[in-house]
Amino acid sequence: MAYREILKEIKTELDYVENELKKYSYSSDTILGESSGHLLRAGGKRLRPAFVILAAKFFNYYIERIAPLAVAIELIHMASLVHDDVIDGSPTRRGIPTVSAKWGDAIALFTGDYLLAQALIIVARHTNEEIARLLARVSLQMCEGEIEQIETAGKIDQGLRIYLRRIKRKTALLFSTCCFTGALAGEAPSGLARCLKRYGYYVGMAFQITDDVLDFEGSEKVFGKPVGSDLRQGIITLPVYYTLRNRETGCRLANILAKEEKQESDWEEAMALVRRSGSLNLARNCSIRYLEKAKRELLALPDLPPRRVLAAITDFVIKRDF
């Protein structure tokens, strides 16, 4: 099933979110409005606001109360993307030039700050202090995840626990927070709110692992960024971790990664080693295990349309190519 078909149940709400994102992105008459609008026009899956809305729809759902939080979380996510592109030196995102490539790093950094400030304005209007604390905490943890990625870049001896902790902070905690925020805003019973929180965490872990697989087998045109970019930055993702521990490929890949000066042929060989080692299937199987856990959490929730949509999203995560 196509991704947009999965989310047709909440198309009205997502259209509302998109219009609000336009309002906040273009609200500045400085270059920040232009740069933020450029990022917004690049599109996106809007999966995070969808989680907020779907989680709330199990309980006391009012679009006027829930949708602004969905907008705020997407603005936080957009801000993190702009900052990531500066750090990574990424020339494109979703197939178009990044803000940093088009306007330079300084404008890109302030664009991210501007989007984050817009999110803070929305959150400040909400009366639930627990949600405000939750979003502040996850923003902090996302920063810690990115810093850990920088600090561990190129370190081929890092353990699996370091990788899992890093992607938890980078990706899974925000997914989890989206679901938990929607549940809290919808006044969910605490037990069901925790089920949704765990569902989001498991899907987030699987989502990032799938991203790491797509870095080796995705299409740049479809995936929206250069294939192999994480490897070239020295980021030890799960497929690389497994390849390094493979008796047939580990030593050769370690030797390549240890080179101070790498030729294009080195990168091509490194990519080929990962692809032939079986590591992509191992990583994909790890993602599937997380998704199976996510589906089990859904069984505790009422059998309503949002549950079926959340189940379909788990299937999309492992099959997606973008």
Residue 303 gets the label, from left (phi > 0), alpha (psi -120 to 50) or beta, of beta
What percent of the chain stands above pLDDT 70? 98
* Nearest Cα to Cα of residue 152 among 142, 161, 162: 162
Output the CA angle 131-65-30, nearest 5 degrees: 85
The string of pLDDT tens digits covering residues 224-239 is 677 899 999 999 999 9
The string of pLDDT tens digits covering residues 81-112 is 999 999 989 999 888 999 999 999 999 999 99
pLDDT at 226: 76
Rounded CA-CA distance 256/240 in Å is 12
In the predicted model, is pLDDT for residue 218 greater than 90? no
In this structure, what token pair is assigned to residue 185? 């805003």
The string of pLDDT tens digits covering residues 238-250 is 999 999 999 999 9
pTM beyond 0.85, yes or no: yes
Span 291-318, average pLDDT: 97
The string of pLDDT tens digits covering residues 243-275 is 999 999 999 999 999 999 999 999 999 999 999
pLDDT band per the 50, 70, 90 thresholds, residue 222: low
Average per-residue pLDDT for the chain:
95
* Nearest Cα to Cα of residue 223 among 320, 315, 312: 320
pLDDT at 126: 82
Span 134-152, average pLDDT: 95
Which ranges of 218-237 would DSSP assign to H, the alpha helix? 220-223, 229-232
Q: Residues near 4 by Cβ (< 8 Å), separated by ≥ 6?
A: none
For 104, other C-beta atoms within 10 Å of its C-beta total: 12
pLDDT band per the 50, 70, 90 thresholds, residue 321: confident
pLDDT at 224: 65
In this structure, what token pair is assigned to residue 188? 């969910």
pLDDT at 322: 82
pLDDT band per the 50, 70, 90 thresholds, residue 223: low
The SS3 of residue 102 is helix
Alpha carbon 166 to chain centroid, angstroms: 12
Span 172-199, average pLDDT: 98
* Nearest Cα to Cα of residue 115 among 61, 56, 44, 168: 44
pLDDT at 127: 76
pLDDT band per the 50, 70, 90 thresholds, residue 219: confident
CATH topology of domain 10-319: Farnesyl Diphosphate Synthase (1.10.600)
